[in-house]
Structure 1
Amino acid sequence: MIVVGCPNSRGYSILVDSLYQQQQEVECYESYAQLTSASLAQASLVFTFVSGFPAPLLLSDTAHLIRHAAHISVIPVVEYAEQDRAAALLESGCVDYLLAPFSAAQIHALLQRHEAAASAQESFVSCSQAGRRLLAMAQRVAVTRAPILITGETGTGKEMMARYIHRFASGESAPFVAVNCAAIPEQMLESLLFGHERGAFTGAVSVQPGKFEMANGGTLLLDEIGELPLGLQAKLLRVLQEQKVERLGGHKEIPLDVRIIAATNRDLTVEVAEGRFRADLMFRLDVLPLHITPLRERQEDVLALARRFITQYAPHEHTGCLLTDDACHALLRHDWPGNVRELENTLQRALILRKGLFIQPGDLGLAPCDQSERALDQQDASFCDGKAALRATGKWAEYQHVLETIRKFNGHKSKAAQSLGMTPRALRYRLSAMRDLGVPMPAV
């Protein structure tokens, strides 16, 4: 546990004393510059007092710490008049903040949330601003039983996010039940979800509880919800509204206490417009939306994830130096159409097929880059920089086209989205990802 701030700051002594009383190991520093690599390696939580630090320096130092120490959660300590600075720090990747004056009970509650998040996170690795904000948002929505809709491309980790929310809110003891709505025939899906009584249909020789009942007290993940047949959508809507389920062939309503998480790689607004999805069900599910941006739009996570997969599949090897610099360049240049799932498969294959001790670019099996991309890499040795990675992958020109289209329509996002062939919601996600990577936004 690390505390950064002036000892004269309001609440400083209360925070330090409370941490000691809760048997926490505490190190105190007056500025980020005094932090040592050894202390950062051992810490998981850093409290930083906002008062007394210039805003630009505080933001840049905090972002740098988050980017280079992804395992650390940074908690700003702010006063009421400084909440705008707290909001800026949350945008930069901080997961929570502490408002002064505070009590020992509030610190205890914050530490409990941090421990729950750390145990829930498992392999959901993220050091990018977009990823850290997503985890912070997931922690906030996890405390409610309202339906959660997770959207994102195939392979971005939607089920992993659902499990993170479940572990954070309910722990390991509560049931987590996942149903892939696209993988089960329609004739079986209704019985699987709602259960059936004996004799409800031919072959129903015994009572079978459904997935809703199995998930009672925990979480039910409806994966690929966009594939759910229209007939079942109406029945699902009723279950969500009534919080009760009735087995096929039965007459008894069974009360439910289930957190519903739906996941899809489709744009449900488009599905509704084309008549494949019920608008009322979409509004019922879309109470707390979470969008996972594709891996190509959060390049800062590529190497962190790669090292996580190397640790997973080669636990006895030295993870830090197994990837050569050229292999890191190759990973950052790739567009990752299959997202995190593709990255995991690539690293697993490279560990098996590598020709030596280290992983070289040829071991990854990725498409080779052209000479212009290689020249860009040589010009900027800091391949972890988000903007350099954008240029290396050719995304910079694509993002400039997006911005030029917005300027063409004088900042009218709906018209710009129509011209670009995407929905306004997709354009908002694209602009958010661009902002995370440092792309200058138009003043319109």
Structure 2
Amino acid sequence: MSNTRILVVAADEGLRAEPCRALTAAGYEPVPAASVETACEAVAAGPVGLALVHGTSVGDWRRLRRRPGAPPVVVMEAGADVPRAVRAIRYGAVDFLSAPDDPAAVLSIVRRHAVPAGGDGLVASDERTRAVLDLARRVASKPVTVLLNGESGTGKEVFARYLHTHSERADGPFVAVNCAAIPENMLEALLFGYEKGAFTGATRSHAGKFEQASGGTLLLDEISEIDAGLQAKLLRVLQEREVERLCGSHPVPVDTRVVATTNRDLREAVASGAFREDLYYRLCVFPIQLPPLRERRDDVLPLAEGFLRRLGDGGATLSPAARRRLLDHDWPGNVRELENVIQRALILADGEHVDADDLHFEMAPMAAPQAEEAGEASLDDSLRDSEHRLILDTLRQTNGSRKNTADRLGISVRTLRYKIARMRDNGVAVPDSSGMQAQTG
């Protein structure tokens, strides 16, 4: 936090003194300013995480809020009444501080609303997120493989980039590969590279992602979707620290730090035979579990305000009713869903204020069917079960080959992977290709 600049704006030096002392002691960089004009100059000079503004002593602080690149504003005024606080929030402040002389109150509100410096895209206002961020900070400088586990949309790639930018490899490349989005017959060539003539269309040699990330960090996103054959080759690369290109004649040493992510429980995948146990332990040197957004409520509003600034023109604010509605939602889609909600709200909002009516959430899952709907529900269940059986039967016929199964079903490999993931989420056991080969052998 030491590189996060916090503006403290008050005409009287005495009003600035206590907040500045509290911020310095906590490792922030306070930037005192006696006027809104001076505060605007500070914003123009470099990123500012938050502005603490004594509203009654500096005049119209809304000019700072409307400035491009302006930070969130917290209005502070000792002993102010509720109407003043409500008015400040209606004018665009993200919060109101009625005890600016209380160091604990100052730090609490700064941790809740300050935008971290460095462009990491990380918001860590909630205590649980700060605990995870502390783990990430401590392991970032260590040359170990990290496994980030969390629901879809919790920000695993953001944390992976944080690990990279806070490591000794920060000046090296950061290369990300989405293992679930790439057909298995292409993923091997993409990861390990290939020599000229290795396959039709390989008109020149090409370095794989491991080589491209040498000296830096390679993110293997959704590692659980890699098929069994490629898991064995990946294990060898992690053990030997070298890759062999397709049709290559000699191994190529690589100095690459691997960060892997998954939204599945890999221990269950190991137990079911879908994931190699030895590869799991190679990846899970330092596991970090990312909590879902519903378990870190204090991050919701800072994230929403960050999306308002990034997706809008910087001047939009959330009404008190909109804030309450955001806090009341369970966020099954996590941060990604929140970003979508804010983007829709900016389109629908009338003027600079986003109200509760502008917030449109994803459609909730349908409630349990009533008696008169039981026949329709049974039909839906039957169709879903038939699809599951068809996929499983085709996988068995093709010895687990995702590509051949997708071809026979007339769908893309990506669609097949999605359906298999949904089947597993519903408790359907889907063996990997090696398990099916063993059954047919």
Residue 200 of structure 2 aligns to a residue whose secondary structure is coil
CA distance in structure 1 between the aligned counterparts of 2:287 and 2:329, rounded to whole angstroms: 29
CA 1:335/1:121 → structure 2, altered by over 3 Å: closer, same or farther? same
Please, which of 212, 219, 226 is the counterpart of residue 210 of structure 2? 212
Counterpart CA distance in 2 for 1:337 and 1:368 is 11
Q: In structure 2, which of residues 139, 142, 150 is the aligned counterpart of residue 141 of structure 1?
A: 139
Q: Residue 247 of structure 2: SS of its match in structure 1?
A: coil
Amino acid at match of 1:69: V
Distance 1:227 1:312, change over 3 A: same
- Paired AA for residue 188 in structure 2: E
CA contact (8 A) 2:23 2:107 kept: no
CA distance in 2 between partners of 1:228 and 1:131 (Å): 29
Map 1:338-353 → 2, pairs under 5 A: 338-353=333-348
- Paired position in structure 1 for 2:18: 36
Percent identical: 49
**Do 2:137 and 2:163's aligned partners in 1 also have CA atoms closer than 8 Å?**
yes
Q: 2: CA distance between counterparts of 1:195 and 1:153? A: 31
Tell me which residue corresponds to 2:110.
69
- Please state whether the residue corresponding to 2:197 is helix, strand or coil: coil
Aligned residue type for 1:343: L
Instruction: Select the residue among 314, 321, 329 that pairs with 2:324.
Output: 329
The alpha-carbon deviation at position 140 of structure 1 amounts to 1.1
Contact 1:296 1:339 in 2 (8 A): yes
RMSD across aligned C-alpha pairs, in angstroms?
A: 3.2
| Post-superposition CA distance 1:355-402 (Å, at most 9, x none) | 343111110113899xxxxxxxxxxxxxxxxxxxxxxxxxxxxxxxxx
Q: Do the aligned residues in 1 keep the contact of 2:112 with 2:298 (CA within 8 Å)? A: no
Which structure has the larger Rg? 2
CA distance in 2 between counterparts of 1:295 and 1:342 reads 10
Count of aligned pairs: 283
Q: Which amino acid in structure 1 is aligned with residue 196 of structure 2?
A: R
Kept after mapping to 1: 8 A contact 2:146/2:284: yes
Per the normalisation by structure 2, the TM-score is: 0.59
Secondary structure at the counterpart of residue 218 of structure 2: strand
Output aligned runs, 1:255-274, within 5 Å. 255-274=253-272
Contact 1:145 1:260 in 2 (8 A): no
What are the equivalent positions in structure 2 for 1:14-33 lying under 5 Å apart? none
SS at match of 2:291: coil
Report the 3-state secondary structure (helix = DSSP H, G, I; strand = E; otherwise coil) of the residue aligned with 1:169. Answer: coil
Q: Which of 355, 360, 367 is equivalent to 1:360?
A: 355
Provide closer, same or farther for how the CA distance between residues 296 and 309 of structure 1 changes in structure 2, counting only shifts above 3 A: same
Match for residue 244 of structure 1 among 235, 239, 242:
242
After TM superposition, give the deviation of residue 202 of structure 1 in Å: 2.5
Q: Structure 2 vs 1, CA of residues 175 and 245 (structure 1 numbering), >3 Å: closer, same or farther? A: same
Deviation track 1:136-162 (CA, whole Å, cap 9, x = no partner) reads 111111112211000000000000100
CA distance in 1, matches of 2:216, 2:244: 19
TM-score scaled by structure 1?
0.58
Look up the equivalent residue of 1:278 and give its one-letter code: R
Relative to structure 1, is the Cα distance of residues 65 and 226 closer, same or farther in structure 2, using a 3 angstrom cutoff? Answer: farther
Q: What letter matches 2:125 in structure 1? A: C
Mapped contact 2:169–2:217 kept (Cα < 8 A): no
Q: Using a 3 Å threshold, how does the CA distance of structure 1 residues 162 and 285 change in structure 2: closer, same or farther?
A: same
SS in 2 for 1:69: helix
Shift, 1:200, TM fit: 1.7
CA gap 1:206/1:284 in 2 versus in 1, 3 angstroms = same
1:309 to 1:153, Cα distance in 2 relative to 1, 3 A: same
Alignment of 1:154-233 (within 5 A): 154-170=152-168, 173-233=171-231
Measure the CA separation in 2 of the matches of 1:63 and 1:40: 8
* Secondary structure at 1:204 match in 2: coil
Which stretches of structure 1, 4 residues or more, deviate above 2 A after TM superposition? 33-44, 61-67, 117-122, 170-173, 366-369
Distance in 2 between residues matched to 1:36 and 1:307, nearest whole Å: 27
Does 1:305 find its partner at 2:303? Answer: yes
* Structure 1 gaps, min length 5: 3-32, 48-60, 74-116, 370-420, 423-444
Offset at residue 70 of structure 1 (A): 1.8
Instruction: Tell me which amino acid in the other structure corresponds to 1:334.
Output: H
How far off is 1:46 after superposition?
A: 5.4
Cα shift readout 1:19-54 (whole Å, capped 9, x = no counterpart) = xxxxxxxxxxxxxx997346667997159xxxxxxx
Structure 2 vs 1, CA of residues 224 and 119 (structure 1 numbering), >3 Å: closer, same or farther? same
Letter in 2 for 1:335: D
Distance 1:226 1:120, change over 3 A: farther
Contact 1:44–1:71 (Cα < 8 Å) also in 2: no
- Partner SS, residue 338 of structure 2: helix
Q: Following the alignment from structure 1 to structure 2, what is the Cα–Cα distance between the partners of residues 163 and 70?
A: 21
- Tell me, in whole angstroms, the C-alpha distance in 2 between the residues paired with 1:139 and 1:205: 43
Determine the C-alpha separation between the residues in 2 that align with 1:368 and 1:197: 49
Partner residue in 2 for 1:100? none
Instruction: Answer whether contact 1:126 1:305 (CA < 8 A) is retained.
Output: no
